[in-house]
A and B are shown apart, each in its own frame.
Chain A
Amino acid sequence: MAANNSPLPDGVTKEQAFGMAETEMEYRVELFNRLSQTCFSKCVDKRYKESELNMGENSCIDRCVSKYWLVNGLVGQMLSAGGQRPM
């Protein structure tokens, strides 16, 4: 690949960048799986009476995803802020 659109940051080789992208991808996939699992088990009733989501489940899933995302962001902030001093 002769033309690189985004130049790598200093001191990072291509293999390292690939490794970081792979880790990031795994993290994203894990986050998505955890999110759907959590919200499904919390919001959807175990007795499946029909195949569509009814309105209560719909708004429950909306709220669940929003809260999960906020918690994720908040915890990430705390971790990166508290990284200077050991926990």
Chain B
Amino acid sequence: MPTVEEMRAQEVWNNCAIRSAFSGVVGGGLGIFMGFLLGALDNPLMHDPDMSAKKQFIFTAKQMGSRSWSNCKTFALMGLVFSAAECVIEKARAKHDVTNTAVAGCVTGGAMSARAGPQAACYGCAGFAAFSVLIEKFIDRHS
């Protein structure tokens, strides 16, 4: 039988706001990591005779930093919206399905691409929904 602390912890974890905040933070961390990776790959160290090695290093580091910060914000927002949508949908439907993941993916994709117009929002919705369903099936198979 679960103890009182376990039940309290479960209640805390069931809160949509806390869950989506946590996902946002994790997404932000992932974004920083990916920003570093992609920034390092995109800016190879060029031997510029004008700048010294230290200045070049600082320049590259600033580029990587700004890149990873923008990535961090994007991924954090993505994680937050996806987690919040999935939580709200699952609580409303009172069912644990793959439909929750698909609709939450659609909402996230649509929200991220909404700036580029309604057609881009549709494509983003469909694409992200398919992606999240795939990831969910992949995770389920291995757990």
Contacts and interface: CB of A to CB of B under 8 A. Distances in A.
A14 interface: no
Interface in A52-74: 52-60, 63
The binding surface of chain A is classed by DSSP as helix
Contacts of B143: 49-50
Nearest to B92: A59
B96 A52 contact: no
B10 A56 contact: no
Contacts of A58: 14
Interface residues of A, number: 14
A59 B91 contact: yes
Given A49-B143, A52-B10, A59 B94 contact: yes
A57 B96 contact: yes
A63 B93 CA distance: 11
Nearest to A50: B143
Contact of B93 (A45, A50, A53, A56): A56
B87 interface: yes
A14 B14 CA distance: 49
A74 to B, nearest CB: 22
20 contacts: A45-B96, A49-B140, A49-B143, A50-B143, A52-B10, A54-B90, A54-B96, A55-B14, A55-B90, A56-B91, A56-B94, A56-B96, A56-B97, A56-B100, A57-B94, A58-B14, A59-B91, A59-B94, A60-B94, A60-B95
